[in-house]
Amino acid sequence: MKNTFGNAVSVTLFGESHGDMIGAVLDGIAPGIPIDENAINHRLTLRRPIGKISTARQESDPYTLVSGVFNGKTTGAPLTVLIPNQNQNSRDYRELQRTPRPSHADYTAGIKYHGFEDYRGGGHFSGRLTAPLVAIGAILQSALSEKGILIGTHIKRCAGIDDIPFSDYCADVEALNQKPFAVLDETKAQKMISAIEHAASEGDSVGGILETVILGIPAGVGEPWFDSVESMLSHALFSIGGIKGIEFGSGFMLADMKGSEANDPFTFSESGVRTLTNHAGGINGGITNGMPVLFSVAVRPTPSIFRTQKTVDLETGENTALSLKGRHDPCIVHRVRAVVDAITAIVVADLLTQRYGTDYLAPNHHKETLT
């Protein structure tokens, strides 16, 4: 089982949904980065359930940093965050070893790990493990913001309802990062929430699309071919359960454009070379071009629904039906947003460290000294 991602900056994830602890280890981080506990708590809050549109499982996530921090700053050694599980209800999952849930990892995990896996609440495959990723991401987001690099995500679509597009990127990002339900148009938020509540009342679930922008990332970051910016972001983002698609810039719409429409012409501006459009999403040849990096991910409807579903009984070898018990999200789009931001921060920190060196994210370390 491999649970580590990253090259110069790497993250290792551990724990299970109903175990005592979940956590992550951040390695390769620069020394001297201040630990902003308010920022970590805020990001964890953005990931937590909200009322009727989320699971009833509530966790306060009282994290502990047990290594890599001294006197409130990173030491450069591996940083470990631990978060206890406080609200498990394991009896709801006793039958899942023999009757796997449709579109969950119950069956595939049982095959791969020969039945020794912790099946409670999805075990190691649970979305619960995104909590330490969000905590790690919050530390890196604070460090990146000191370099003028901002990350923000909005709910582009949920339950078939569209939000308005980004307009003023910087202002939009700053506003979104304060919102528990990240939309740019509040009237659309109410419609989305109503649609989620309606699906929940029918024992069903809905999905959506998240759109993310990275501001301030310099040109020249990334590698061609296998470690391109698109490759690294896609690799990491597809690790989030529920994400089933990704596109950069205009994405699949490019397939219906002509080259004269799809190309991004270059121009000189006060801030240097820029492009007049951004269909490529700020990336050419796998390398950032100085424009905002823009991508969208598709989040599937939560597979845990309270409608009777067809499955199999692995002990009897017969087809059967499954009616779920427990506490489940009718939609995870609004919660996944915080995880996408965190994963994006991890990837960007890794790419920048590879490009500029291990001390790039350290305070008072300037890009112009790295040539």
Residue numbers in the chain where pLDDT is lower than 50: 367-371
Q: How far apart are alpha carbons 88 and 93 in whole angstroms?
A: 11
For residue range 235-252, list pLDDT tens digits in order.
999 999 899 999 999 999
Looking at residue 169, its pLDDT comes to: 96
What is the per-residue pLDDT across 44-58, written as a single tens digit (0 to 9) for each?
A: 999 988 888 887 666
The tokens for 305 are 């629904």
The pLDDT of residue 50 is 83
Which structural domain, as residue segments, surrounds residue 225? 4-369
Strand 266-269 to 272-275 pairing: antiparallel
State how far the Cα of 102 lies from the Cα of 327, in Å rounded to an integer. 16
pLDDT of residue 153: 98
Helix (H) or strand (E) segment spanning residue 112: helix 106-112
Q: State the burial class of residue 191 (Cβ atoms within 10 Å of its Cβ: 0-12, 13-18, 19+).
A: middle
Measure the CA–CA gap between 135 and 69, rounded to whole angstroms.
14
Question: What SS3 class is residue 52?
Answer: helix
Total domain count, the chain: 1
Tokens, residue 27: 């390695």
What's 150-213 look like in SS3?
EEEEEEEEECCEECCCCCCHHHHHHHHCCCCCCCCCHHHHHHHHHHHHHHHHCCCCCCEEEEEE
Residues with Cβ within 8 Å of residue 99, at least 6 apart in sequence = 311, 312, 313, 314, 320, 322
Q: Tell me if residue 66 falls in helix, strand or coil.
A: strand
Which stretches of the chain are assigned E, i.e. beta strand? 4-5, 10-15, 21-27, 64-67, 69-70, 73-74, 79-84, 150-158, 161-162, 208-215, 243-248, 266-269, 272-275, 283-284, 287-288, 293-299, 309-313, 318-322
Structure-block tokens of residue 182 = 């990240």
Q: What is the pLDDT of residue 369?
A: 45
Q: For residue 193, give both structure tokens.
A: 């929430």
At 97 the pLDDT is: 76
Residue 249 CB-half CA count within 13 A: 21
Domain containing residue 88: CATH number: 3.60.150.10
Nearest to 17 by CA among 102, 103, 96: 96
Contacts of residue 260, defined as CB under 8 A and 6 or more positions apart, other chains included, come to: none
Helices and strands: H and E segment counts in the chain: 8, 18
